[in-house]
Amino acid sequence: MKRILVLMVLALVSTTALAQDNYRDIVYLKNGSVVRGIIIEQYPNVSIKIETADQSIFVFRMEEIEKLGKELHRQKDRRLGPATGLGSGHIRTVDIGYQKRIGDYGMDRWKLNIVNSYAFNPIVSLGIGTGLRYYKESEAALIPLFANARINFLDAPSTPFIAFDIGYSFDATYRLEGVGMLLSPTIGARFGTSQGTTFTIGVGYEMQKMDFFYLYDNGGYYDLVTTSENSGAVSISIGLFF
C-alpha cells in the first residue's frame, strides 16, 4: 500500500512539474513594458528575478511592477520538420508492399518505392522516385521511374493523405528495355510518433502498361501475337519517412 501511495505521489509531482513547464510567467511593468519568461528568484515585497527565452536575466523591484501573470506556452519540438508534416524541406520516403492482381491481365507482384521529394508546405509535396516490382509468376523485375505528388489533409504529424505516381517502367531482367507507362493513385494515413519517427500505411491501385504474347491458331499454323494491355493490381504498402 505504501508503495502505491509513493508511486501516486511521484506521478502527481511529475504531472505537476510537466504542467508548470507548459506555462511561463509574465511581468507587467508600470512603464508599459511586458516581460515573459520564468521567475527564477523572488523576494516577497522586495524584488523578482526573471529569465527570458533567450536566457537574458532581469531583476525588477516590486515598486516597478504593475502586476504578475502566467500564460500557456507551447514549447517547439526541435525534431519537427518536413518529415513530420510541420514544415517545408526535402523528404525521403521508402515504401514496401504487396500488389494483388485484378482484371484479366493483372499479376501479383512485390513493391518497393524510394522517393525523394520537396515539401513546399505542410500540405503539398512533389518529388521523383524509383524502385522495384518483382512479378512472381513470370519471375520478372521492373524498375519504375516516376513523378510523385502528395497532398496531406491536415497540418499535423498524423494525417490522412492522397498520393499519385506517374512514370515509366524498364525491364531489369532484359537489357533495361522500356516496358510501358505506370500510374498509381494511393490513399492512406501518415502517423508521427513522439520519438520523431514518421510512418505511413496506404492502399491504392497500380496500372502497368505492358506487352503480352500468345500463340494464335491460324488454320494449323501458329502465329505469335503481341497485345499491349494494362496489368492492374490493388496495392497495400507501409512506408517510412526520413
The listed CATH number (3.40.50.300, 2.30.30.100, 2.130.10.10, 3.10.20.600) that belongs to domain 24-75: 2.30.30.100
Q: Is 239 exposed, middle or buried (0-12, 13-18, 19+ CB in 10 A)?
A: buried
Average pLDDT (21-35) is: 84
Task: Tell me what pLDDT residue 223 has.
Answer: 73
Task: Tell me what pLDDT residue 225 has.
Answer: 77
Task: Tell me what pLDDT residue 46 has.
Answer: 87
Task: Tell me what pLDDT residue 185 has.
Answer: 97
User: What residue has cell string 494483388?
Assistant: 100
Average pLDDT (103-123) is: 93
For the chain, residues classed under CATH 2.40.160.20 are 82-241
For the chain, residues classed under CATH 2.30.30.100 are 24-75
53-62, 72-81, 115-124, 213-222: which is most confident: 115-124
Q: Pick 194 or 127 by higher pLDDT.
A: 127
Average pLDDT (151-160) is: 90
- Give me the residues paired with residue 36 across strands: 26
pLDDT(91) > 50: yes
* pLDDT level of residue 137 (50, 70, 90 thresholds): confident
Task: Tell me what pLDDT residue 146 has.
Answer: 97
What are the Cα distances from residue 233, in Å, to 138, 173, 185, 201?
Answer: 15, 21, 11, 17
Q: Is 73 exposed, middle or buried (0-12, 13-18, 19+ CB in 10 A)?
A: middle
- Kindly indicate whether the domain formed by 82-241 is annotated with CATH number 3.40.1400.10: no
Average pLDDT (30-45) is: 88
